[in-house]
Amino acid sequence: MLDNRCQPSQQRRPGPGRPRRDEIDARNAELLDQALALFLDQGFERTTIEGIAAAVGMAKRTVYARYRDKEGLFKAALERAIDDWAVPPEAFWAIECDDVECCLQDIARLLVSNLLGSRGLRLMRLVNCESYHLPDIGRYAYQRVTQRTIGYLADLFRRRSSGSGTDPDEAEEAAAAFLNLVVGGPARTAAMGIGLLDDDLERQTRFRVHIFVRGAFPLATERQNAAV
């Protein structure tokens, strides 16, 4: 019978340890980034969990442990991208000025450039394409982008309504009209694959903002014209 005391000691080697929270978060962000890139390039139907796992160097079971299915991963990746892309209210506040038309010109340029940038166009096309079978995506994009922008603009119009000839009770309708007129036009053109030269885009933006201000802030426009 062998004496166990004569055997080499069998010490358990320390394991790699549990990853830290920041490492888990960084790895998840990498997963969402890679997933979004594939969804943007291939669309929802052609993108697979296997392809995403391979792209990020992660086991497929780990992906499924974090996200129940491809739809859950798609929503998480797209919602994160929408939040990163949306213009925050602080960016609007930073460019406000006393002249209402100049203020709205700057806001319009910010919105249009953000929409027509490469990231904005790709997100818009993906949301429009997939919303018919995943309506939660369309609702999320509307709430996080359009609705928040309307809320900011309505607040701006209420603050500028005194002595301007505009009705503060119609601020939200005016905000929606502004977006449809100034941003909706370029968005529809881009959705059809028609590009605009920077000079043409600037000219159209200035004209549309001017038309909106004349209708929404008539007294302010009259005073400005009288001063000129």
Residue with tokens 């018919």: 132
Boundaries of every domain in the chain: 21-84, 87-227
pLDDT digits (tens, 9 = 90+) for 65-111: 999 999 999 999 999 999 999 999 999 999 999 999 999 999 999 99
pLDDT digits (tens, 9 = 90+) for 140-187: 999 999 999 999 999 999 988 775 556 667 899 999 999 999 999 888
Long-range contacts of 164-169 (CB under 8 A, 24+ apart): 164/100, 164/217, 164/218, 164/219, 164/220, 165/217, 165/218, 165/219, 165/220, 165/222, 166/216, 166/217, 166/218
CATH architecture of 87-227: Orthogonal Bundle (1.10)
User: DSSP letters of 57-78?
Assistant: T--HHHHHHHSSSHHHHHHHHH
CB atoms within 10 A of CB 149: 21
pLDDT digits (tens, 9 = 90+) for 33-64: 999 999 999 999 999 999 999 999 999 999 99
pLDDT at res. 16? 55
Is residue 43 left, alpha or beta, with left meaning phi > 0 and alpha meaning psi from -120 to 50? left
pTM beyond cutoff 0.85: no
Q: Would you identify the CATH topology of the domain 21-84?
A: Arc Repressor Mutant, subunit A (1.10.10)
